[in-house]
Amino acid sequence: MSTRTIAVICTCLLAAGCGGSGAVIVGSGEKPQPPAIDSVATVSSGGGSAPAPVTGHTPAKMGVAVWLVHDGRLWPVTRGVKATQAVAGAAVRSLLTGPARADSRLGVGSAVPAGTQLLGISLHGGVATVDLTSDFTAGGSAASQRLRLAQLVYTVTQFPGVHGVSLHLDGAPVSALSDGLVLASPMTRRSMGFAGLAPAITITSPRPGAHVQAPFTVRGVADVFEAGLTYQLLDASGHELGSGASSASCGTGCPGTFSFTIDELGVSHIQHGTLVISSGNASGLPGGGQQVRLPLVLVPPFDVINPLPGAALTSPAVIAFRYPIATRVLIRITDAKLHVLGRRVVTADCIGPCPKDVSYSNHVHFSVAGLQNGYVVVSPLHMNPDRGGQVVEIPVTLNGG
């Protein structure tokens, strides 16, 4: 479906029965307001930070990108909104609410003044008219006001059929702010230096500090040299767990979306990690490329809390784990060539994000001559061949006495 077709559908659905003005009253005032953008909740984004549906038995919610601020630059976070409500209005209201506590702990803030309210939002000819209270312009330098405008533009233009934003304050159109900052008509991601406020590489999912379990998908937007990207996944000690290459849908002067899946984490214990995404180097000089580092919490398919890597085991060995991904769990003790020396099947009554005090401890008998290297291998009894990263292997020393 073309962008023009989507825009026509959105405009049609805004008015009742595709006829009449479709004007609605927003809030407690008497002033008629433009109709809400409510049809974009049913289509996927054609660019920018793509809203991703929140999966479940009933897809009642969808994720939208809300652009906040980190280190003086734009920073997207994902917020869940009802797919049946006016999704653009919901995204703007979430923007006006500001950072959540989890965002603030990561140094994410907002240039939008507290107390700013949304009065109305409408779409005509691909331009969204956003009506805010005049609190939006209160205080701040010209740089701060440019940044808050960029937050608004990036948040609204993530939706299909919306390529620009026109600002109204208290119901009246605005062409310039009090400090002399002249607004483009309409404002787009490429106007008023907004693109320079966005990082060259932006990760929209997962969010910073998220708990991830393999396989998981990384999504984002990049404007980098020849659209080329590489990534590394590092453990808590900075050791590389995996790496690969990806590419954005557009590059060298235009932002494009990217997506790749990490199939395995390669950790046996829950721990902090870092995803590093880098671009190519157009200048050829050291440090000439772009890079973004995303802190994550790496969650293995089984968080094996005993034994630790390198431990010496005697029979029977005590194997303890938590957060299983299957009700039937197979524990194996193997030699260095993965020949099975002992095994046990365990039934778990709590799967996934169980309480921290819920763990499973089991004795596994094995037979081996002397001292030799081996592994403790924990996996689902019946593995899904389509899902990677289901096996945890812990190197140990086996002591046969």
Q: Which CATH architecture has domain 201-298?
A: Sandwich (2.60)
How many angstroms separate the first and last alpha carbons of the chain? 70
Whole-angstrom Cα distance, residue 390 to residue 396?
Answer: 19
Whole-angstrom Cα distance, residue 366 to residue 398?
Answer: 9
Query: What's the pTM?
Result: 0.56
Bridge partners (DSSP) of residue 397 are: 312, 373
Largest Cα–Cα separation, the chain: 87
The pLDDT of residue 6: 35
pLDDT tens track for 179-198: 778 999 999 988 999 988 98
CATH code for the part of the protein at 303-399: 2.60.40.2550
pLDDT over threshold 90, residue 111: yes
Candidates 86, 88, 169; CA nearest to 126 is 88
| Ramachandran class of 9: left when φ > 0, alpha when ψ lies in -120 to 50, beta otherwise | alpha
pLDDT tens track for 317-369: 999 998 787 889 999 999 999 999 999 999 988 887 677 778 899 999 999 98
Residues in the chain: 401
State the pLDDT confidence band at 282, using cuts at 50, 70 and 90: low
Q: What ranges do the domains of the chain cover?
A: 3-197, 201-298, 303-399
**Mapping DSSP to helix (H, G, I), strand (E, B) and coil, where does residue 187 land?**
strand
Bridge partners (DSSP) of residue 278 are: 230, 291
Tokens of 158: 């993530």
List the 392-399 sheet strands across, edge first.
312-314, 392-399, 371-380, 328-335, 340-347
pLDDT over threshold 50, residue 53: no
The answer to whether domain 201-298 and domain 303-399 are alike in fold is yes
Candidates 222, 328, 212, 182; CA nearest to 275 is 212
